[in-house]
Amino acid sequence: MSPAEALAAVGAHPRSAWLDGPWTDGPWLGLLDEADPSLTYDAVTRTVTRHAHGRAEVVGDDPFTALEAALADGPPDARWVGWAGYAARPDLPALTGGSGRDGPAGGLPDAVWMRPSRWVAVRPDGGRVPEHGPGTVLGHTTPSAGTPPDADVPAWYAAAFAEVQEQLHAGNTYEVNLTYREDLLSDRRPLDAYAALRAGSPAPYAALVRHDLPGARGWMLGSSPERYARVDLAPDGSRSIETRPIKGTLPRDADPVRDAALAARLAVEPRFRAENLMIVDLLRHDLAVVGEPGSVEVPSLMAVESYAGVHQLVSTVRARLRPEVTTVGALRSLFPAGSMTGAPKRRTMEVIGAVEGSPRGPYAGAVGWVGADGRADLGVVIRTLTTAGDGRWRLGTGGGVTVQSTAAQEWEESRWKAARLRAALLG
């Protein structure tokens, strides 16, 4: 199937998912028939609903528990595909609510998992971004680092940043991923918006996910470069887990000399290295909880990787999972991604809830697939547009804040991270 045919297939199937990049065994497209099950989660009411045969029934109060039960009860070769939003762990202090819209998280479910009965391989595009490493610069110049595209930092952002700095200097947290949401109106069809997004921002964890049922509507259009977690299965039945946190980002520049200078700056600037190192330490701890003793390793620390629009500072953290820890249990234990919270995780999530003022919804969660055979591959929900299909769109943006950060730098970074998402809606 070609990419154009994959887009058409998503348009014809109210429940479908196209994992559009070098995912494990990908790219591929999952299509659901009416009898195929899906699960959705509302973090406000803490209810998991199962959808199949045109009916909906409440089946639990924790989406990870419900997904694990569905994997155990289903076919041994089953794969579930979808997302878990930032508030998908009810035991953690994440803000919930509609923030001015009907329903949870801006009108979208806080989690969606689907079990397609049909799978189709999608031919990769020639010239698409490789799994990791250099991308291509598009034919325009991005804002140079240090020159904010918006002249002033808004008062509301400055106030949130100041509160974060107060918490950092008090020692209550060491790093906070400060984010905010943007609501946009566009009459562009989700399929057309995704076509524009994948052309302008190809990424390893690109995805188009559609769950379009009454009371549980949601489209996710993602171009994420960041791995949340991949679980691989060895011939002896053991499993390994790998995360690839991104902390430290600068824009690409169409001028090769300036572009190379930005990459070199990213590699050495103390504030970026501090951001990355703190999250690596957090993930080493997270993996030690679910991994075999002595198996946690960091094979790559703070490598610069370049994509179509940005340079990123990326590390890799791995471990062997303990036999008694299920794959879903490991994914739940790590959730949400440390790169999207900060350190320490629970206390920093409390700070985030106090300063951000609105629920993150699907943003900052994880998207991908989980298999009954113990394998999984998920990306972090960043560089992503969401909509209920009603012309109202939401994106999230932000970045890691440490004591070395400034409000102007962080505001600038958040704006150009979101620029390509906004451009995809222009038509």
pLDDT of residue 141 exceeding 80, the answer is no
Domain that holds residue 65: 3-424
Task: Yes or no: say if 86 and 367 are a contact pair by the CB < 8 Å rule.
Answer: no
Task: Yes or no: say if 179 and 364 are a contact pair by the CB < 8 Å rule.
Answer: yes
CA 368 vs CA 85, 112, 284, 372, 377: distances in Å: 12, 11, 22, 14, 6
The string over 214-235, giving b where at least 16 C-beta atoms fall within 10 Å of a residue's C-beta and e elsewhere, is: eebbbbbbbbbbbbbbbbbeee
Percent of the chain exceeding pLDDT 90 equals: 81
Whether 417 is a known active-site residue: answer no
pLDDT of residue 134 exceeding 60, the answer is no
The whole-number pLDDT of residue 21 equals: 87
Whole-angstrom distance between the N-terminal and C-terminal Cα of the chain? 25
The whole-number pLDDT of residue 136 equals: 28
Residue in 68, 175, 226, 356 annotated catalytic: 226
The string over 400-426, giving b where at least 16 C-beta atoms fall within 10 Å of a residue's C-beta and e elsewhere, is: bbbeebebebbbbbbbbbbbbbbebbe
Quick one: pLDDT band at residue 249, thresholds 50, 70, 90? Answer: confident
Task: Yes or no: say if 135 and 314 are a contact pair by the CB < 8 Å rule.
Answer: no
The whole-number pLDDT of residue 307 equals: 83
Model confidence pLDDT, tens digit, residues 222-237? 999 999 999 999 999 9
Of 357, 279, 293, give the one whose Cα is nearest residue 325.
Answer: 293
Quick one: pLDDT band at residue 38, thresholds 50, 70, 90? Answer: very high
Whether 247 is a known active-site residue: answer yes
Residue 45: which CATH number? 3.60.120.10
Task: Yes or no: say if 381 and 364 are a contact pair by the CB < 8 Å rule.
Answer: yes
Strand partners, 398: 179
Poorest-pLDDT segment among 21-30, 44-53, 375-384? 21-30
pLDDT of residue 101 exceeding 80, the answer is no
Poorest-pLDDT segment among 130-144, 196-210, 243-257? 130-144
Model confidence pLDDT, tens digit, residues 268-291? 999 899 889 999 999 999 999 999
Residue type, 230: R
pLDDT of residue 354 exceeding 60, the answer is yes
pLDDT of residue 191 exceeding 90, the answer is yes
Show the tokens assigned to 418. 């979101």
The whole-number pLDDT of residue 106 equals: 53
Task: Give the C-alpha separation, 333 to 328, whole Å.
Answer: 9
Model confidence pLDDT, tens digit, residues 391-415? 999 999 999 999 999 999 999 999 9
pLDDT of residue 130 exceeding 80, the answer is no
Task: Give the C-alpha separation, 190 to 12, whole Å.
Answer: 13
Cα Rg for the chain, rounded, in angstroms? Answer: 20
Residue in 68, 247, 412, 413 annotated catalytic: 247
> Looking at per-residue confidence, does 39 or 26 come out higher?
39
The whole-number pLDDT of residue 357 equals: 85
pLDDT of residue 344 exceeding 70, the answer is yes
Task: Give the C-alpha separation, 397 to 360, whole Å.
Answer: 10
Quick one: pLDDT band at residue 427, thresholds 50, 70, 90? Answer: low
The whole-number pLDDT of residue 350 equals: 97
Model confidence pLDDT, tens digit, residues 153-162? 999 999 999 9
| Residue spans of alpha helices (H) in 101-243 | 155-169, 190-200
CA 169 vs CA 173, 221, 248, 334, 386: distances in Å: 8, 37, 21, 26, 35
Residue type, 189: R
What values do phi and psi take at 242, rounded to 5?
Answer: -135, 135
DSSP 7-46: HHHHHH-SEEEEE-SS-TT-SEEEE--TTS-EEEEETTTT
Q: Could you tell me how far CA 212 lies from the centroid of its own chain? A: 20
- Pairing state between β 310-320 and 246-251: antiparallel
Task: Yes or no: say if 194 and 420 are a contact pair by the CB < 8 Å rule.
Answer: no
User: Taking residues 300-319, what's their average pLDDT?
Assistant: 91
Q: What is the mean pLDDT of the chain?
A: 90
Percent of the chain exceeding pLDDT 70 equals: 92
The whole-number pLDDT of residue 373 equals: 96
Task: Yes or no: say if 62 and 34 are a contact pair by the CB < 8 Å rule.
Answer: no
Task: Give the C-alpha separation, 87 to 45, whole Å.
Answer: 12
Of 270, 292, 266, 296, give the one whose Cα is nearest residue 282.
Answer: 296
| Residue whose tokens read 């060491």 | 174
Task: Yes or no: say if 370 and 80 are a contact pair by the CB < 8 Å rule.
Answer: yes
The whole-number pLDDT of residue 248 equals: 86
User: Taking residues 305-327, what's their average pLDDT?
Assistant: 93
The whole-number pLDDT of residue 98 equals: 53
Quick one: pLDDT band at residue 212, thresholds 50, 70, 90? Answer: very high
Q: Could you tell me how far CA 413 lies from the centroid of its own chain? A: 17
Structurally, the chain folds into a number of domains equal to: 1
User: Taking residues 331-344, what's their average pLDDT?
Assistant: 95
pLDDT of residue 355 exceeding 70, the answer is yes
Show the tokens assigned to 3. 């990419």
